[in-house]
Amino acid sequence: MDAPLPGIGPWDEITRSHALWHFSFWGPDAERLVKGRERFISIASERICGAIRRNSTKLAAHYAGLYAKPGAMHAAFEQFKAFDQDAADNKALVAKGPLTMPVLAIAANNRSIYDGGGHARGRDRVTSA
Please give the Cα distance from 10 to 59 (Å, whole number).
32
pTM of the model as a whole: 0.62
Alpha-carbon span 37 to 56, nearest angstrom: 17
88-124 pLDDT, tens digit each:
999 999 899 887 888 776 665 555 554 444 445 545 5
